[in-house]
A and B are shown apart, each in its own frame.
Chain A
């Protein structure tokens, strides 16, 4: 079994949900984004991808995921839209199609990046 159902943390904060994914205990926010990008692993990414209906991560998917993570750890933030487009070498339209849940909830979440919150 890859995942264990989510549980709210001891504080009961709905924005801090602990779940075991691929053997790792990970804290997610209320929209299932990682609180800590360090909690990520390739096995976790594969499990999260399967949950979205993506049963196999191809080399193209991994190229996107690796770019997102490398950029994040190098710059301390996620890439801007134009940087992402240039970095992965495909249009945002194609990137949207590549992940069943799109760019934000698909690629970014599977890559383990924190929630790009906006109001």
Chain B
């Protein structure tokens, strides 16, 4: 099995993660900090320890400002709907996932706020200047993905952060694809240090074959699992011209992916492309 859908979720989970989860629930799976018995205190200690580690990882100064949510979609919805209110203006980008676009669209349709989306260039990058020119007196929030989930491009988040800070506008960063991959500077919270400006992710299309079919062939004929379609980011495909062809195929390796896995995948894609051309000849 060659699993290349780590951009959706990591699989297989690392043994250390599984062992820690099972051990925690088995030994101290009680309500943290609500009771005065030892287990409740131990559980609360663990939560606080994790808060401190997460804050340190992202360069935060106050662990008490770290909150846990079910997933990134949940977190983004809470942040957007919690910060932007009636009459506010929000700036975001065409690179965003539906977890950003949908709440913005929903709030706009209800007449609660207005938003503008910044387009990306031919290489998949947002220009901070394009964000700056969209600021209004009532701009309350800027939402930008750190690494785009379709293209893998790392956005100039440090510069965008400076622009926002100068204007006193909060910057909400969707780091679902980058946390743990791109490095964060402890001083500058959102400063990506990856010199290639790209995370390990790529999207492809095979001419003449629906991306869903490419995914199905890779799965059943080659035991390779990938994500096919729009990847919950329809505006990216609108810009790339892949919306009408039902999107792309995304290959996203993870901690367990080997170079052999990548070689096998390249050969499989080559086989599909060649087979298709022969079929159409």
Contacts and interface: CB of A to CB of B under 8 A. Distances in A.
Interface of A: 81-82, 84-85, 91-93, 96-97, 101-105, 116, 118-119
A105 B213 CA distance: 9
Which secondary structure dominates chain B's binding surface?
helix
A118 B276 contact: no
A105 B211 CA distance: 11
A100 B265 CA distance: 25
Nearest to A98: B279
B220 A81 contact: yes
A97 B276 contact: yes
A76 B210 CA distance: 24
Interface residues of B, number: 20
A119 B247 CA distance: 9
Interface of B: 98, 209-210, 212-213, 216-217, 219-221, 228-232, 271-272, 275-276, 279
Contacts of A84: 216, 220
A93 B271 contact: yes
B210 A104 contact: yes
B272 A103 contact: no
Contact of A93 (B219, B229, B230, B272): B272
Contacts of B276: 96-97
Given A93-B275, A97-B279, A104-B212, A119 B229 contact: yes
Which secondary structure dominates chain A's binding surface?
helix
B219 A104 contact: no
A118 B231 CA distance: 8
Contact of A104 (B213, B220, B279): B213
B259 to A, nearest CB: 25
B279 A119 contact: no
A88 B250 CA distance: 27
Given A97-B276, A118-B229, A119-B230, A82 B219 contact: yes
Contact of B275 (A82, A97, A105, A119): A97
B209 A85 contact: no
Contacts of A103: 210, 212-213, 216-217
11 contacts: A81-B219, A84-B216, A91-B221, A92-B213, A92-B216, A96-B276, A97-B276, A104-B212, A104-B216, A119-B229, A119-B231
Given A84-B220, A92-B220, A116 B212 contact: yes
A81 B219 CA distance: 7
A92 B217 contact: yes
Given A97-B279, A119-B98, A85 B221 contact: yes
